[in-house]
């Protein structure tokens, strides 16, 4: 899928179409008041106050018809510049626009006219509404004004616009494909996980899901051992004083769960970093020990707004695949280059390409000296250039303790997901007074890197479900092989012996011995997205062979048991993405 926000031409088209939407709504709902209509990665939206009237999904076609009528009229979009005083007068009947105007520092304000409709905007826009032909309104939802639950609930209408009908149709097809891949839908159908009202935002993993989760975690440990990591486990509940010490209390308190124990205030950890630093501080370290690579699959909790919770993608409880690397300053470049190569290797196993964003110092909530921030940002920029990795600057989106490289993976249908991150921290080691003994016997301050690769086990699992559309590669599948006897009376014993043989080779196997039609059982095996379905009948029993079908294919293959086992084991050991 295209990132509309990053495509200059599509950005302009979609922003102009947001104004077209607002124009149509103002014609159909004269009482409407308008907040903002920005471009987002998936197109655009507009937040609107319709008083007591509610726009439902079925009303979108009516708004689309009005948008097409306005576009056909072909009015030019004309930019005007007015004073702040004139703007306040012109938009005096819309409190949301008045609020926007009052926040503006400029004395001259730009707005755009298209026929009878005028909106505040910096622009740019297309020249005429006639250029806005190929659009689609996608959905409607509620949205608090300014994102604050204490404010008025507005109605948000989402849409998308393209230059051609072909591009629009292609995009809508991708949206339909994305719906089929929805991890919430597939998670329920494949019995991978569940969400319950008794624990909102805190997923329950079911037996099938736990198999896959355990495989992911084992893979994570195996790859980190190769890279020289050791592992720790830190407490979930820690004293408020620690969070004040780390800076989280001042910069992240609103997202933390807090409780009282023995007349002291404790917080459930939203991040693993402070615990990791206490572990480092527990012992003495030499310059010869560096770098120290310390990994933790750490369970964290963050208080996300209830309206933002979404399956495994936005949760309140999750396991970060965390690591903290402590090093000498002269090791920073080599260590981060090694880490980028490590991330590259992990993502390639799942078939993910990625892009990198360099996120810099936040405008307000940050700790440390600006000179240190500038130095850290420069180091990350030079490393990206040295490794030949293209990157984009994402201003102001760094962690409060340091700049970071964010890794955005691309899935099978082209959607982008931010997963991995490398955060260069020269501040928290100062706060925690972390030291090592240098070659000259003096105490020195280590540099620390915080990093995740999956991001969180839960979210990465959700991405994998959608990436593979629930049809996991053989090495990841909760059930790898389903054995179906043609007739239980004659073939069940052979099917059971075959299942036992495969299990002895560490394969995950089920047997479908229900008294159902063969065609029904084969179809259900496909519905469950089991990678390999084996059918055994008279011929297979007599010749001690098996016939198997690969998920998604009609063709069947007959082979010896030993050849099949060899092929399956090779596929699993290589972590192949397909079974050929």
What number of helices (H) and strands (E) belong to the chain? 18, 28
Q: Which of 17, 273, 384, 419 is catalytic?
A: 273
302 is catalytic: yes
273: annotated active-site residue: yes
Tally Cβ neighbours within 10 Å of residue 52.
Answer: 5
Beta strands in 499-580 (DSSP E): 509-511, 532-536, 545-550, 556-560
For residue 197, give every residue at least 6 positions away whose Cβ sits within 8 Å of its Cβ, in sequence order, or none.
none
* CB distance 533 to 499 below 8 Å: no
**CA dist 204 → 57, 311, 318 (Å):** 31, 11, 11
Residue recorded with tokens 């991150």: 421
Indicate if 65 belongs to the active site. no
* Known active-site residue 505: no
Q: Which of 317, 320, 423, 480 is catalytic?
A: 320
Among the listed residues 171, 301, 302, 316, the single catalytic one is 302
Q: Distance (Å, rounded) from C-alpha 421 to C-alpha 418? A: 8
- From the list 47, 321, 322, 512, the catalytic residue is 322
For residue 199, give Cα distances in angstroms to 187, 196, 300.
Answer: 17, 6, 15
Spatial neighbors of 241 by CB under 8 A, at least 6 apart, are none
The token pair at 507 is 């394969």
Strand 353-359 vs strand 257-261: parallel, antiparallel, or unpaired? unpaired
- Check if 285 is active-site: no
Q: Both tokens of residue 443?
A: 């105490």
Distance between start and end Cα atoms, the chain: 28
Q: 109-145 burial by CB neighbour count: b if 16+ within 10 A, else e? A: bebbebeebbbbbeeebbebbebbbbbbbbebeebbb
Question: For this structure, is 450 an active site residue?
Answer: yes
Per-residue b or e along 156-176, where b marks 16 or more CB atoms closer than 10 Å to that residue's CB? bbbbbbbeeeeebeebeeeee
Q: Please list the residues that pair with 418 across neighbouring strands.
A: 408
φ, ψ of residue 557 to 5 degrees: the values are -130, 130
Which residues are identified as catalytic? Answer: 273, 302, 320, 322, 324, 404, 450
């Amino acid at each position: 899928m295209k990132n509309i926000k990053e495509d200059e031409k599509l950005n302009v088209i979609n922003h102009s179409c947001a104004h077209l939407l607002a124009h149509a709504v103002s014609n159909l709902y004269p009482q409407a008041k308008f907040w903002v209509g920005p471009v987002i990665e998936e197109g655009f939206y507009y937040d609107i106050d319709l008083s007591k009237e509610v726009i439902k999904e079925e009303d979108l076609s009516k708004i689309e018809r009005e948008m097409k009528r306005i576009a056909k009229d072909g009015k030019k979009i004309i930019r005007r510049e007015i004073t702040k005083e004139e703007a306040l007068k012109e938009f005096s009947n819309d409190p949301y626009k008045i609020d926007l105007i009052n926040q503006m520092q400029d004395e001259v304000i730009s707005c755009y006219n298209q026929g009878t409709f005028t909106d505040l905007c910096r622009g740019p826009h297309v020249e005429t509404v006639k250029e806005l032909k190929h659009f689609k309104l996608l959905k409607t939802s509620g949205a608090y004004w300014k994102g604050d639950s204490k404010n008025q609930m507005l109605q948000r209408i989402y849409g998308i616009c393209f230059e051609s009908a072909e591009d629009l149709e292609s995009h809508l097809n991708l949206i339909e494909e994305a719906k089929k891949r929805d991890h919430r839908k597939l998670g329920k159908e494949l019995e991978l996980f569940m969400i319950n009202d008794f624990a909102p935002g805190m997923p329950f993993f079911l037996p099938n899901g736990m198999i896959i989760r355990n495989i992911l975690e084992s893979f994570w440990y195996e790859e980190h051992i190769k890279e020289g990591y050791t592992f720790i486990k830190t407490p979930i509940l820690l004293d408020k004083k620690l969070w004040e010490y780390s800076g989280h209390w001042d910069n992240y308190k609103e997202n933390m769960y807090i409780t009282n124990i023995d007349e002291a205030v404790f917080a459930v950890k939203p991040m693993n970093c402070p615990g990791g630093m206490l572990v480092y501080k527990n012992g003495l370290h030499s310059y010869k020990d560096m770098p120290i690579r310390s990994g933790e699959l750490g369970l964290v909790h963050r208080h996300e707004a209830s309206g933002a919770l979404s399956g495994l993608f936005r949760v309140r409880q999750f396991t970060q695949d965390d690591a903290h690397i402590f090093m000498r300053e002269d090791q920073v470049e080599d260590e981060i280059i090694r880490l980028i190569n490590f991330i590259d290797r992990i993502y390639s196993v799942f078939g993910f390409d990625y892009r990198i964003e360099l996120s810099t110092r936040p405008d307000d909530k940050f700790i440390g000296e600006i000179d240190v921030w500038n130095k850290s940002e420069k180091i990350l920029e030079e490393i990206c250039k040295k490794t030949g990795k293209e990157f984009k600057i994402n201003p102001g989106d760094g962690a409060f303790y340091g700049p970071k490289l964010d890794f955005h993976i691309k899935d099978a249908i082209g959607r982008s997901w931010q997963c991995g991150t490398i955060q260069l921290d020269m501040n928290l080691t100062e706060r925690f007074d972390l030291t090592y003994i240098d070659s000259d016997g003096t105490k020195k301050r280590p540099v620390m890197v915080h990093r995740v690769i999956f991001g969180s086990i839960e979210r990465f699992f959700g991405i994998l479900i959608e990436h593979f559309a629930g049809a996991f590669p053989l090495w990841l599948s909760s059930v790898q092989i389903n054995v179906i006897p043609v007739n239980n009376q004659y073939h069940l014993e052979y099917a059971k012996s075959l299942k036992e043989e495969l299990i002895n080779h560490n394969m995950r196997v089920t047997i479908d011995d229900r008294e159902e039609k063969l065609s029904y059982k084969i179809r259900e095996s496909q519905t469950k997205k089991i990678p390999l379905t084996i059918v055994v009948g008279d011929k297979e029993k007599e010749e001690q062979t098996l016939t198997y079908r690969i998920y998604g294919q009609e063709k069947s293959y007959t082979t010896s048991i030993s050849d099949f086992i060899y092929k399956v084991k090779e596929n699993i050991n290589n972590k192949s993405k397909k079974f050929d």
